[in-house]
């Protein structure tokens, strides 16, 4: 059965760009952008979100944050809440990126709380999972990713999972120029879909969007996107220049 899922390409700027640079990107990208059946978004540092919303208003280009706190307000110096992002009309929020798990003490438990909070409102979560090199070399990658998926999604409903985006991002492929082969990426995305089916049922598995991320760029986007289980991409380095990012969307 061929799938009905809409391809979804999202940029992840990480900690890059000044406000001026973000504005320049957005103006240039808006000119290049052609509305196709591929869904598109840029996830950016908080200080750029209002700018991107303003410049992309009236287009179908979505805007996403890279993290959020699960409490609505309170004594959490340096944090930004889901409630604040909702107020700004933000469309997506990356949760559990491996860089946050590695450097900022993000755990499956905090990821799970953030997903539960996001599903109280309209922002679509982009949940990142993926194994590191040591785990892959030990042949444990499927077990590791399955454990993350089960823990991160604990207590969610099948209806919520249908709206979710999961990005499979092998840590060894992020920012390294080393892409997972299309077969490796497809195999793991299929495994994630099987886990979703086992826990949440067939409909949720059919509808959940599963992206690949890790050195995806114009040169390899076509072959990755042609794989049956890969519905999209989460694009770091190749989302920083409008021309590169547009080429990935045009895969």
DSSP 49-76: HHHHHHHHTTSSEEEEES--BSSSSSS-
- Site stretch for ligand PGA (CB under 6 A), options 136-144, 193-201, 223-231, 236-244: 236-244
Assess 89 for contact with ligand PGA (CB under 6 A). no
- CA-only gyration radius of the chain, Å: 17
Residue 236 within binding range of ligand PGA, rule CB under 6 A: yes
**x-marked contacts with ligand PGA along 9-28 as a string, rule CB under 6 A:** ---x----------------
Q: Of the listed pieces 22-30, 82-90, 142-150, 168-176, which binds ligand PGA according to CB under 6 A?
A: 168-176
Q: How far is the CB of 11 from ligand PGA (least distance, A)?
A: 9
Q: Provide the minimum distance between the beta carbon of 209 and ligand PGA in the complex, in angstroms, as a whole number.
A: 15
Report the C-alpha gap between 229 and 111 in whole angstroms. 24
Which one of 110, 112, 209, 215 is in contact with ligand PGA (CB under 6 A)? 215
Least Cβ distance, residue 31 to ligand PGA (angstroms): 23
Rounded to whole angstroms, how far apart are CA atoms 169 and 157?
24
Q: Per CB under 6 A, does 237 bind ligand PGA? A: yes
- What lies within 8 Å, CB to CB, of 138 at 6+ separation is none
Q: Is 105 exposed, middle or buried (0-12, 13-18, 19+ CB in 10 A)?
A: exposed
Q: How many amino acids of this chain bind ligand PGA (CB under 6 A)?
A: 13
Minimum CB–partner distance for residue 13 and ligand PGA (Å): 10
d(CA 32, CA 111) in angstroms, rounded, equals 35
- Length reported for the chain: 251
78's CB contacts (< 8 A; 6+ apart) are: none
Tokens of 68: 């959020």
Rounded to a whole number of angstroms, the minimum distance from the CB of residue 39 to ligand PGA is: 17
Catalytic residues: 97, 169
Q: Using CB under 6 A, pick the residue from 126, 153, 164, 235 that binds ligand PGA.
A: 235
Residue numbers at the binding site for ligand PGA (CB under 6 A): 12, 169, 174-175, 213-216, 234-238
């Amino acid at each position: 059965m061929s799938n009905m899922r809409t391809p979804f390409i999202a940029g992840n700027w990480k900690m890059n760009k000044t406000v001026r640079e973000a504005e320049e990107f957005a103006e240039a990208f808006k000119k290049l952008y052609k509305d196709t059946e591929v869904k598109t978004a840029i996830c950016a540092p908080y200080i750029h979100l209002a700018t991107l919303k303003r410049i992309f208003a009236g287009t179908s280009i979505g805007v996403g944050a890279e993290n959020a706190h699960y409490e609505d307000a309170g004594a959490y110096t340096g944090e930004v809440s889901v409630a604040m992002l909702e107020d700004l009309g933000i469309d997506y929020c990356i949760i559990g990126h491996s860089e946050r798990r590695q450097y900022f003490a993000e755990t499956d438990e905090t990821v799970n709380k953030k997903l539960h909070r996001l599903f109280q409102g309209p922002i679509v979560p982009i949940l990142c999972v993926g194994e590191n090199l040591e785990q892959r070399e030990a042949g444990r990658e499927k077990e590791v990713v399955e454990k993350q998926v089960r823990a991160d999604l604990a207590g969610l409903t099948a209806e919520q999972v249908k709206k979710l985006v999961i990005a499979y991002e092998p840590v060894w492929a992020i920012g390294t120029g080393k892409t997972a082969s299309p077969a490796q990426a497809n195999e793991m995305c299929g495994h994630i879909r099987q886990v979703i089916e086992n826990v949440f049922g067939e409909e949720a598995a059919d509808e959940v969007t599963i992206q690949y991320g890790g050195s995806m760029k114009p040169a390899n986007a076509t072959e990755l996107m042609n794989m049956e289980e890969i519905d999209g991409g989460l694009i770091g380095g190749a989302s920083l220049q409008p021309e590169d990012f547009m080429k990935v969307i045009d895969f």
